[in-house]
């Protein structure tokens, strides 16, 4: 019976995402990833090269999924923050993988998927500012950073403070969206985003 390479790659990426989310790049082990995927670890090297390249593939896939599930709209950054919050809530591994990426790759080679996603967002914010749709009191990179940080704020709270956080997911989302609206200086809109 012939091997299904795409199915094997998919299983490896899923197992690697779980391993990297739990243990980071340094803590992840290719033998555990291969075992979880029901593959020989030689398949990791054949398909991805090495552990770092496997992480790159996992993170590139994560970026694509986030772009798809939380579409960016520079003209409505508050709604974008709400969608990003939803993404983090629906898949906590997204936050963990992003955190490991920042911690373990602060000076590493930039991933093209991340560079392209950021460049596109920054260009759209700059255009929205020129058109008067978004205030220009922050540079595009400052604004994007603040929006992303606000969207992920609840996911990054330490446990001691988090125990006092609103248990109601919808309330946490409202706070995120409202905070971005206030950051932009736009009036509160009680409608759904």
Segment 70-87 shows an average pLDDT of 96
pTM for the whole structure = 0.87
| Lookup: tokens for 124 | 């759209």
Residues 77 and 161 in one domain: yes
Q: What is the mean pLDDT of the chain?
A: 91
Question: Could you say which DSSP state residue 177 is in?
Answer: H
Evaluate whether 62 touches 17 at the Cβ level (below 8 Å): yes
CATH number at residue 190: 1.10.357.10
Q: What is the pLDDT of residue 53?
A: 95
Residues 83 and 167 in one domain: yes
Question: Domain range spanning residue 156?
Answer: 70-193
Cβ-proximal residues to 31 (8 Å cutoff; 6+ apart), any chain: 41
Query: Among 58, 80, 107, where does a domain finish?
Result: 58
Give CA torsion, residues 113, 114, 120, 121, to 10 deg: 140
Cβ-proximal residues to 102 (8 Å cutoff; 6+ apart), any chain: none
Domain count, the chain: 2
């Amino acid at each position: 019976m012939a091997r299904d390479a795409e199915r094997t790659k998919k299983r490896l990426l899923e197992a690697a995402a779980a391993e990297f989310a739990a243990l980071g790049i340094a803590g992840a082990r290719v033998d555990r990833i291969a075992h979880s995927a029901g593959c020989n670890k030689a398949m990791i090297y054949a398909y991805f090269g090495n552990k770092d390249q496997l992480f790159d593939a996992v993170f590139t896939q994560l970026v694509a999924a986030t772009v798809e599930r939380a579409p960016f709209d520079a003209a409505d950054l508050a709604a974008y923050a709400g969608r990003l919050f939803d993404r983090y809530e629906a898949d906590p591994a997204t936050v963990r993988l992003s955190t490991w990426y920042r911690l373990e790759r602060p000076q590493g080679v930039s991933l093209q998927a991340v560079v392209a996603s950021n460049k596109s967002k920054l260009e759209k914010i700059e255009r929205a500012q020129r058109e008067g749709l978004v205030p220009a009191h922050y540079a595009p990179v400052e604004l994007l950073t603040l929006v992303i940080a606000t969207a992920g704020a609840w996911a990054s709270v330490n446990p001691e403070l988090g125990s006092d956080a609103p248990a109601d997911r919808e309330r946490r989302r409202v706070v995120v969206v409202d905070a971005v609206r206030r950051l932009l200086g736009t009036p509160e809109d009680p409608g759904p985003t």
